[in-house]
Structure 1
Amino acid sequence: MGERWPRDAEQTRRRLLDAARDEFAAVGIAGARVDRIAAAAGSNKAQIYHYFGSKDGLFDAVFEEIARTTVDEIPIDATDLPGYAGRLFDSYRQRPWVQRLATWYRLERGADSALEIIRSGNSAKIAAIAAAQADGTVPDTFTPEELLGLVLHLSGFWSATTPEYAALVDGIDPGRRREVVVLAVAALVGPPPGR
């Protein structure tokens, strides 16, 4: 019987995270309702507070999990930034809620709640780009911080547009969209100096 509780507790926590992900992606933190999240998870509000402390704590847990998954599944290859951007694009297509949650995170959580996984992930990426620039593999037209920002934004370009622009480009298929991301980053980094 003692083994049942940890498994059930983990299943409950998982259901709450999944339901919260969908709720937060749809309406943000301010618009999300813990009673809707609990109902969608087949749980109750008390469990949300037990596992996560607050609605903000639940959002942070959802966002941290997404960030960790992205860092783990899509490691940066600073010597192939176009390929890295393409893999990020693929991830955003497979997990469309990521860009919506990132937008809500910027709007409603911001610098006041910077997550360590994001800070450390960005630091590692910047260090990798700096090393590639130091050995001449990547041009130093942009600082490592600037280049990382450009690559990240280009990889999410198609999912971060206004509805009006999205309607204009609705006919562009996913393969071409990915190609545009990869080509844009390739044009950005160009050939390494001296080649």
Structure 2
Amino acid sequence: MPEPRDAAATRRRLLDAATAEFAAVGIAGARVDRIAAAARSNKAQIYHYFGSKDALFDAVFEDVASVIADAVPIDAENLPEYAGRLHDSYRAQPWVQRLATWYRLERGRDSALEGIRRSNAAKVEAIAQAQEAGLVTAAYTPVELLGLVLHLSGFWSANVPEFDELSEEIDHERRREVVVRAVASVVAP
């Protein structure tokens, strides 16, 4: 007797396989055949669950962003430590920054994922509240401040190889310290 189908498990396997494929080669380079094979599924299932390769990428990116937002919730009252935790998550999962780069290059504004919009709006609101309480600088708008924090947290994982070569002697503890101190200097009231 065949095993019963588990739709959630199949969808999860497809997302996981697609995450690896998209992180490695982007949307244009990704092949649904490889994704299906890695997920022990078939192309028809990809189209059944996601509709298209672009929609599968969007699902992957939204899933990854949601996992990070849940694992590293914003602490607007301690943005330097929040940036340090984001830095740690990027170090532990280097493929996240690659996916973000592919997203910016190949989807960007055309996609505008609602879950990410909501997450960003909540972060901006948290920063605005911290500003109103006088806990962080008001020299920047909440949107500007969130952008600075996000970019500084990803600083070490978003460089060209030539810069990485220059900085390879800098250990993880020092890299994290640089992120935390840089954000602290930016957000100080």
| Matching residue's letter, 2:26 | G
Q: Counterpart in 1 of 2:43?
A: 45
- The SS at the match of 2:170 is coil
Q: Distance in 2 between matches of 1:11 and 1:168?
A: 43
Q: How many residues align?
A: 189
Report the CA distance between 1:11 and its aligned residue: 2.1
Structure 2: runs of 5+ lacking an equivalent: none
2: CA distance, partners of 1:172 / 1:15: 37
How far 1:17 sits from its partner (Å)?
A: 0.9
CA–CA distance in structure 1, aligned partners of residues 95 and 28 of structure 2? 17
Q: Deviations over 1:34-85 (max 9, x none)?
A: 0111111121111111111110111011111111111212111111000100
1:45 corresponds to which letter in structure 2? K
Is 2:96 aligned against 1:60? no
Could you say which residue in structure 2 is the equivalent of 1:116? Answer: 114
TM-score, normalised by the number of residues in structure 1: 0.93
> How far has the Cα of 1:160 moved from its partner?
0.5
Name the stretch that deviates more: 166-175 or 147-156.
166-175
Match among 83, 106, 109 for residue 81 of structure 2: 83
Unaligned runs of 5+ in 1: none
Equivalence for 1:4: 4
Q: Which amino acid aligns with 1:4?
A: P
Structure 1 residue 152: deviation in Å?
Answer: 0.1
- Report the equivalent of 1:185: 183
| C-alpha distance in structure 1 between counterparts of 2:135 and 2:7, whole Å | 48
Output aligned runs, 1:1-195, within 5 Å. 4-5=4-5, 8-190=6-188, 192=189
Percent of matched pairs sharing the same residue: 72
TM-score (norm 2): 0.95
Deviation at 1:4, TM superposition (A): 2.9
In 1, Cα distance between equivalents of 2:88 and 2:115: 21
How far apart are the structure 2 equivalents of 1:12 and 1:150?
Answer: 38
CA-atom RMSD in angstroms: 1.5
